[in-house]
């Protein structure tokens, strides 16, 4: 065995610490959940008894079919809608593509509850447009699906934009030169080029819909899905064992989708060589105007959904007194926590952004750059990928079982803001980890070798070179963590206490109590905060590009 | 061409590699490599991609530690030391310059952590930039420099801490041809002035021939030959070296015993020792060694040929010669004729003439 340098020792210790952290914040809670599903109320091992009861109770089992139904239908609607939209943004000369892209990203800044609330304003029992339903009801699968389409649209669009943005112009020139017709080129060049993106987007949307709690809670009515079942079992009936079973049932399709997506992604290597010539779309009035109208309609609908919620939050008494008021923002009049929930959310988001970014970026660096120690690195990498496969509700439930277990020395964290921070970092770990890894892979692989030859410690090079060069990605990660911590409902719904109630949970509670306008107002506060932070990031990136990162200019 | 070379003297070598093996899984990238490099020597590891030359360089640096074997530097066993405890400077193909630091900060990077005073660092950095011919570019960032300039900064950075050993991993291959040729001379001149022991990895034989004191030709994880550039070129030890370095005729022949070789129905004399009679061999000669002038009755190894084709290559012509006794599908000999020769003898395609294959220029390698 070669001798380890101090750097090696420090980095390997770092990996061990990282793995331990991931074990505590992800793997052990999941293990607690798994074992709980095999126990009865007295914590005796009962084998598959809970599962047998679950699958032989039609009322419970029906949710599996319901969840799959809404997830599949929503995916089938979002994919083509988002594909055309992404196509317009990347492959046409539609005017205002930047604006359209920004419009389509709005739902990401909002909790999933927001579109559901808007739909209730429009089509609910007191809805403005209820007559359009001809006696049908928005509460149920149709409401869930429409709200999910809105909520999932940006996620699908971003993946498809990324897939379509990378195109080799030479392929199109070759196809043109061979006399292929436009449709033929589309089906033989464009579509195959984007197929991995389509598959990936499909899995992402399916998993999002399958595991989302907020929309089904607000607009699902009596239509049970897995996500609401967990909540009912755990919070409503205090039946933790059955909750654990439903959690496992929800985890299964998420893991299958995750694994399938990884396999597909792995195949997508070197689709685009370094020598590819980027495709620059040429103007084509007929196509461009058609797509412009399309973008206007979709972007308008997305903006409309947000606008309805914003308007609703300013209405005195829907639908009888439509005069405007700020009264709904006086949260203290409607909820004991009042504005406190909002401040809690800000705290949570800030801590998650700062701590999470530090842990995730450093972790990705250690996994990427440590010499040798393959066992530790592979283990840490697996643990870093795991959270993406775990729905928030499942993770949250696992936290109850793990941190609340008698004898756990970490039990003191229970019902504190700290556990919410730990949970949020774990919940949103993987996407940020991948962002960090991508950024690190773009660095010259020999920076560390050069430092070693110059006898400069790796930590110093990390501070002086790696972090400054990766600053834009680090900022991306921080904003991603902040916005998600701000909007999430699913993982934290099991973990908040009266002192640490969050804004997103307040939305659920106020909606439950019938204060729809107040719920909308709180949701708007979340959207506003996320948007402000996002804008601050844009400003900061601009500043960085101009001043602090002068070295990027040639 | 550097024909003179400091051959291993009685003094102990500066760098000694003994029985170094490197396994990647079941693939052995290096097989029992042993060699010695003297202080102040410029050695090139030359070979096709995948031959193990970079792996060997990285083992010397400690970046990829060998599976078995021993490496000694200046009498010290460094086999198991991490890179930071070894004494070397390195320049990578990518240069690995820190993009967010200025040229001055890049060059001074290794000096700051050695507790040197600010003024001393500034002086040393200035000296180095002068040395690599870039005294004016200190405030620039790497992205603002040309490839050749980046290369020089990387070199200055590697030399800043005055390492005992300079390692260059294909340092010129990312540059365009003109810059590459100029930098060859600059690097070699710098190395001579500083006297720093240098190992350079390259797949470019011309680079190795022009720059190195000695060349280590590698293939499939083994050393094929170690020698001065002229030894490598004039007396390739194996058919691989003969083929990889320069251009060579490989003529299918049979060893007839007692220094005689049969090719194209004719007998040629050459120094082919240690081979049994009737051994299938390759008879090899460089195109420029095929003699045309002064071929007379007393000349040995004369063969009557017809010029099958001529390729004009600027300063000379490459001729494809068909031996008269070989028939139309027989093997052809490639020969380089200078423009002078062509003019003097009035040569052209289709002409017949007598050429000689001088015995001291013939090389023989077992075939099959």
The values of phi and psi at residue A328, to 5°, are: -70, -15
**Using an 8 Å Cβ cutoff, are B98 and A447 in contact?**
yes
Q: HSE on the CB side for A103, CA within 13 Å?
A: 21
Q: What is the pLDDT of residue B284?
A: 94
- Using CA atoms of B352, B354, B359, B361 in order, give the dihedral in degrees to the nearest 10: -50
Query: What is the pLDDT at residue B114?
Result: 81
- Residue A468: list chain B partners with CB under 8 A: 100
Q: Please state, as a whole number, how many other Cβ atoms lie within 10 Å of the Cβ of residue A418.
A: 16
Q: Is cis: bond before B40, omega within 30 of 0?
A: no
Number of A–B residue contacts, CB under 8 Å: 99
pLDDT, tens digit, for every residue of A170-217?
Answer: 888 899 899 889 889 989 888 888 888 899 999 999 999 999 999 999
Closest listed residue to residue A353, CA positions, set A425, A420, A433, A436: A425
- How far away is chain A from the Cα of B29, in angstroms, using its nearest Cα? 18
* % of chain A residues with pLDDT over 70: 97
Measure CB to CB from residue A449 to each of B63, B81, B157 and give the nearest one: B63
pTM attached to this predicted model: 0.88
DSSP state of A281: P
C-alpha to C-alpha distance for A312 and A331, rounded to whole angstroms: 15
In chain A, % of residues over pLDDT 90: 63
Query: Structure tokens of A346?
Result: 């800000």
Supply the DSSP string of A475-513, one letter for each residue. HHHHHHHHHHHHH--TTGGGT--GGG--HHHHHHHHHHT
CA angle B345, B347, B353 (to 5 degrees): 85
On the CB side of A278, how many CA atoms lie within 13 Å of its CA? 6
Task: Sort strands B266-269 and B280-285 into parallel, antiparallel or unpaired.
Answer: unpaired
Please report how many Cα atoms fall inside a 13 Å half-sphere around the Cα of residue A333, on the Cβ side. 9
The per-residue pLDDT of chain A, averaged, comes to 90
Q: What is the mean pLDDT of residues A307-326?
A: 88
Pick the CATH number of A65-268+279-312 from 1.10.3720.10, 2.40.50.1020, 3.20.20.70, 3.30.70.20: 1.10.3720.10
Cα dihedral across residues B165, B169, B171, B177: positive or negative? positive
- State the smallest CA–CA distance between residue A552 and chain B in angstroms: 7
Res B62: pLDDT: 93
Q: Report the C-alpha dihedral over residues B333, B337, B342, B347, rounded to 10 degrees.
A: 0
Does the beta-carbon distance from A446 to B113 stay under 8 Å?
A: no
The two structure tokens encoding residue A428? 């949103």
What pLDDT is attached to residue B10? Answer: 56
What whole-number distance in Å separates Cα of residue A33 and Cα of residue A37?
Answer: 6
For chain B, the helix, strand and coil percentages under 3-state DSSP, each to the nearest 5: 30, 30, 40
**ipTM of this model?**
0.83
pLDDT at A264: 81
As annotated, the residues of chain A forming the CATH 1.10.3720.10 domain(s) are: 1-36+328-549, 65-268+279-312
Low-confidence ranges of chain B (pLDDT < 70): 1-11, 272-273, 326-329
**What pairs with residue B28 in β-bridges?**
B23
Q: Does domain A1-36+328-549 have CATH number 3.40.50.300?
A: no
Residue A276 makes CB contacts below 8 A (sequence gap 6+) with A166, A168, A169, A170
Nearest to A8 by CA among A457, A512, A544: A457
Q: How confident is the model at residue A129 (pLDDT cuts 50, 70, 90)?
A: confident
Under an 8 Å CB criterion, which residues of B touch A? 61-63, 65, 80-86, 88-90, 92, 94-96, 98-102, 109-110, 112-114, 141-144, 157-158, 160-161, 163
Segments in A23-140 forming alpha helices (H)? 28-36, 49-55, 58-91, 97-105, 113-123
pLDDT tens, position by position, A23-79: 999 999 999 999 999 998 888 899 899 999 999 988 888 999 999 999 999 999 999
**pLDDT tens digits, A327-377:** 889 888 888 888 999 999 999 999 999 999 999 999 999 999 998 899 999
List beta partners, residue B184. Answer: none
Q: What confidence tier does A163 reach under pLDDT thresholds 50, 70, 90?
A: confident
Contact between A444 and B94 using a beta-carbon 8 Å cutoff: yes
Neighbours of A320 (CB within 10 A): 8
Give the A window 421-480 contacts with B, CB below 8 Å: 444-447, 449-457, 460-461, 464-465, 468-469
CB contact under 8 A, A7 and B84: yes
pLDDT of residue A291: 95
Would the CA dihedral through B338, B342, B348, B350 be positive or negative? Answer: negative
Inspect the interface and report whether the beta carbons of A455 and B65 lie closer than 8 Å: no
| Contact check, Cβ <8 Å, B82/A460 | no
What pLDDT shows up at residue A268?
Answer: 67
Q: Which residue of chain A has the CA closest to B66?
A: A2
Say what the pLDDT of residue A64 is. 93
Residue A548 is predicted with a pLDDT of: 64
Lowest mean pLDDT among A265-269, A395-399, A427-431: A265-269
Q: What is the mean pLDDT of residues A98-103?
A: 92
Question: Closest-CA residue in chain B for A445?
Answer: B96
Contacts of A454 in chain B (CB under 8 A): 89, 109-110, 113, 157, 160-161
């Amino acid at each position: 065995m070669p001798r380890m340098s101090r750097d090696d020792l420090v980095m390997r210790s770092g990996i061990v610490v990282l793995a331990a952290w991931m074990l505590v914040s992800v793997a052990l809670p999941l293990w607690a959940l798994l074992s709980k599903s095999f126990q009865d109320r007295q914590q005796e091992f009962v084998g598959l008894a809970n599962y047998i009861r679950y699958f032989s109770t039609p009322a419970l089992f029906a949710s599996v079919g319901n969840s799959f139904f809404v997830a599949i239908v929503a995916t089938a609607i979002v994919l083509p809608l988002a594909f055309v939209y992404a196509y317009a943004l990347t492959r046409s000369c539609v005017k205002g593509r930047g604006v359209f892209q920004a419009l389509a990203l709005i739902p990401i800044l909002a909790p999933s509850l927001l579109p559901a609330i808007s739909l209730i304003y429009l089509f609910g029992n007191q809805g403005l447009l209820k007559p359009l339903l001809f006696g049908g009801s928005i509460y149920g699968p149709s409401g869930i699906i429409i709200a999910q389409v809105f909520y999932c649209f940006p996620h699908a669009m971003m993946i498809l934009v990324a897939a379509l943005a990378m195109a080799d112009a030479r392929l199109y020139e070759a196809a043109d030169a061979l006399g292929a017709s436009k449709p033929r080129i589309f089906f033989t060049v464009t579509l195959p080029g984007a197929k991995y993106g389509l598959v990936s987007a499909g899995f992402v949307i399916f998993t999002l819909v399958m595991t989302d709690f907020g929309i089904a809670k607000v607009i699902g009515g009596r239509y049970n899905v897995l996500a609401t079942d967990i909540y009912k079992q755990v919070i409503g009936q205090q039946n933790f064992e059955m909750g654990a079973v439903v959690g496992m049932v929800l985890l299964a399709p998420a893991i299958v989708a995750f694994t399938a997506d990884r396999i597909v992604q792995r195949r997508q290597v070197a689709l685009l060589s370094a020598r590819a010539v980027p495709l620059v779309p040429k103007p084509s009035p007929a196509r461009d105007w058609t797509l412009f109208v399309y973008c206007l309609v979709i972007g308008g609908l997305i903006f409309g959904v947000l606008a309805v919620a914003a308007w609703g939050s300013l209405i005195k008494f829907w639908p009888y007194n439509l005069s405007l008021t700020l009264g709904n923002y006086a949260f203290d009049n409607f909820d004991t926590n009042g504005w406190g929930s909002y401040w809690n959310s800000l705290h949570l988001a800030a801590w998650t952004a700062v701590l999470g970014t530090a842990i995730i970026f450093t972790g990705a660096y250690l996994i990427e750059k440590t010499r040798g120690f393959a066992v530790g690195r592979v283990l840490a990498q697996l643990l870093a990928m795991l959270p993406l496969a775990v729905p928030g509700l499942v993770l949250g439930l696992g936290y109850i079982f793990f941190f609340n277990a008698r004898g756990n020395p970490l039990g003191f964290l229970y019902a504190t803001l700290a556990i919410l921070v730990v949970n949020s970092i774990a919940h949103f770990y993987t996407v940020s980890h991948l962002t960090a890894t991508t950024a690190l892979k773009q660095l010259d692989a020999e920076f560390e070798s050069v430092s070693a030859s110059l006898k400069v410690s790796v930590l110093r090079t990390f501070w002086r070179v790696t972090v400054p060069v990766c600053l834009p990605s680090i900022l991306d990660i921080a904003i991603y963590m902040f916005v998600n911590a701000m909007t999430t409902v699913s993982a934290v719904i099991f973990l908040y206490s009266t002192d640490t109630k969050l804004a997103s949970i307040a939305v659920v509670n106020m909606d439950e109590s019938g204060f729809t306008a107040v719920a909308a107002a709180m949701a708007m506060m979340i959207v506003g905060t996320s948007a402000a932070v996002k804008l601050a990031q844009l400003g900061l990136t601009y500043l960085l590009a101009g001043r602090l990162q002068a070295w990027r200019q040639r | 061409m550097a024909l003179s070379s400091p051959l291993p003297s009685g003094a102990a070598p500066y760098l000694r590699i003994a029985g170094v093996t490197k396994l990647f899984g079941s693939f052995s990238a290096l097989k029992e490599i042993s060699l010695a490099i003297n202080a102040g020597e410029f050695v090139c590891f030359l070979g096709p991609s995948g031959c193990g030359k970079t792996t060997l360089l990285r083992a010397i640096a400690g970046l990829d530690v060998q599976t078995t074997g021993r490496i000694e530097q200046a009498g010290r066993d460094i086999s198991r030391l991490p890179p930071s405890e070894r004494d070397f400077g390195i320049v990578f193909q990518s240069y690995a310059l820190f993009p967010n630091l200025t040229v001055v900060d890049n060059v001074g990077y290794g000096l700051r952590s050695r507790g040197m005073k600010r003024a001393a660092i500034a002086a040393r950095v200035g000296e180095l930039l002068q040395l690599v011919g870039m005294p004016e570019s200190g405030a620039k960032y790497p992205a603002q420099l040309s490839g050749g300039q980046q290369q020089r900064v990387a070199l200055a950075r590697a030399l800043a801490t005055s390492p005992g050993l300079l390692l260059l991993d294909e340092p010129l291959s990312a540059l365009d041809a003109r810059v590459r040729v100029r930098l060859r001379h600059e690097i070699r001149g710098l190395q001579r002035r500083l006297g720093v022991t240098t190992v350079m990895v390259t797949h470019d034989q011309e680079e190795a021939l022009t720059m190195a004191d000695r060349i280590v030709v590698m293939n499939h994880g083994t050393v094929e030959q170690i020698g001065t550039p002229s030894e490598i070129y004039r007396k390739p030890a194996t058919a691989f070296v003969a083929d990889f370095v320069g251009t060579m005729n490989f003529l299918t022949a049979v060893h007839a015993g007692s220094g005689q070789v049969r090719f194209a129905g004719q007998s040629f004399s050459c120094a082919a020792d240690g081979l049994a009679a009737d051994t299938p061999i390759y008879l090899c000669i460089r195109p420029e060694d095929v003699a045309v002038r002064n071929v007379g009755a007393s000349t040995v190894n004369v063969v009557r040929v017809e010029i099958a084709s001529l390729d004009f290559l600027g300063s000379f012509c490459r001729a494809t010669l068909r031996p008269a006794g070989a028939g139309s599908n027989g093997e052809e000999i490639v020969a380089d004729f200078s423009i002078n020769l062509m003019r003097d003898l009035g040569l052209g395609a289709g002409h017949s003439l007598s050429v000689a294959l001088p015995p001291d220029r013939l090389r023989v390698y077992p075939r099959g």
